[in-house]
Amino acid sequence: MPIELKVPEVGESITEVMIGTWKKGEGAGVAIDDAIVEIESDKATVELPAPAAGTITKVLKASGEKAVVGEVIGYLEPAAAGTVPPTEAPSGAAGPVVDVRRTEGRTVIGSVQSAPLPQPQRVMPAAARVLAEAGLSSAGLAGSGPGGRVTKEDASRAAAAPPPARPAPAPAAMPAVAPAPVVPGSREERHVVISPIRRRIAERLVEAQQQAALLTTFNEVDMSAVMELRKKFKDVFQERYGVKLGFMSFFVRAAVEALRAVPQVNAEYRDPHIVFRDYYDIGIAVGGGKGLVVPVLRNAETMSFAQVEMAIGDFARRAGENKLKLEELQGGTFTISNGGVYGSMMSTPIINPPQSGILGLHSIQDRPMAVNGQVVIRPMMYLALTYDHRLVDGREAVTFLKRIKDTVEDPTRLMLEV
């Protein structure tokens, strides 16, 4: 008897998800716990594992379509005892991605990413309705759904493309108009459905701009002492802890000290109160497979340099694999974003609401500096603190950045907590 493949619960209060990439299409054999399909929410991406060994017999929801928690999105036929299901889907199970356009009254297909063997065209019922209402035929349409199915999105795209207006004939007395010059290069466009996590990122950024009084203050820090300390102890540190000594652990520890000195930056504006916290959950912005995510170091004030480096390395690895847990992305009292890894010289980061501050780090560049009356070359980094001016004044913001600067330029202060 076929097993129903249902959308799992992906987090508290999340009822709707988007179907991501089908890792196993119709006809593909799976082993128990094999990843079948990615389920995307506005918080994270999870994989639906195979509940048993068998063969995927039917896919009900194509990639990019929405579904609700508990909805059946496909069926799996369990393998008979003693048999081994095929491990690959039949040829052509995964359809190519196409760009369908209408040119001078006819439907054409743009660039195709892959060229599967010809197979009978399959049109989803919803797609057939859209094509019928638009007076279009499915002939020539290549679907982007599993098994090459023509999805509702494919049909809507074809129906929405207006035929080009035909130019009116020139008056007989007028000379013929020269044809418009042909523009070299491709003029095609690609329409990609916005992922839930990308949509949520956009919503939160707009929310931060609209609901908080954002202001950014800058400073700069001489990285000479930290770089010398790393150079001196990097080998023994990695040998003992199995992880490289990076810059982020210094800034996490420095941020904790600065937050202790200026508690408003670690607080939350919750009208009619300001909520002060005596713990420090530091969010670390990392680039993930689906976009920027901010996993949280819980109680960072209790973590050693090695624990911070190991946690951040683990976050970065699992973010690239879309394997961060939902609870690891929730909460946080303050955020650090390191744009320097991408070469950023200076930026104004946006806070992660309802937090009241975010520290932006940037690239390290050798610059001439005046030190003790002499011009010397030093490795310098710009720091940026964006904060909610409703509860953090300029004096507190400058004090916070100055504390970061003093601590990083003399990292022995971290050991003495002064």
Residues recognised as catalytic? 389, 393
Tell me the two tokens of residue 341. 């890894």
Residue 401 to residue 349: CA distance in whole angstroms: 15
Question: How far apart are alpha carbons 392 and 418 in whole angstroms?
Answer: 23
Angle between helices 248-261 and 305-320 (to 10 degrees): 110
User: What is the spatial distance between Cα 152 and Cα 158, in angstroms, rounded to a whole number?
Assistant: 10
Alpha-carbon separation of residue 284 from 268, 296, 339 (angstroms) = 18, 6, 11
Which stretch of DSSP H or E encloses residue 47? Answer: strand 45-49
Inter-residue contact 271 to 256 (CB < 8 Å): no
Residue 296 dihedral angles phi and psi, to the nearest 5°: -115, 135
Q: What distance in Å separates the CA atoms of residue 339 and residue 361, rounded to the nearest whole number?
A: 6
Query: Which residues touch 160 (CB under 8 Å, ≥6 apart)?
Result: none
Q: How far is residue 234 from each of residues 12, 79, 244, 247, measured CA to CA in Å?
A: 42, 52, 7, 11
Residue 163: asked if its preceding bond is cis (omega within 30°), the reply is no
Count the neighbouring beta carbons within 10 Å of the beta carbon of residue 331.
12
Query: And the tokens for 237?
Result: 């540190």
Site of tokens 């035909």:
166
Q: Is 416 exposed, middle or buried (0-12, 13-18, 19+ CB in 10 A)?
A: exposed
- Residues 240-262 as b or e (16 or more Cβ within 10 Å = b): eeebebbbbbbbbbbbbbbbeeb
Give the helix/strand (H/E) hosting 249: helix 248-261
Question: Tokens standing for 36?
Answer: 């079948």
Please check whether residue 392 is in contact with residue 356, taking contact to mean a CB–CB distance below 8 angstroms: yes
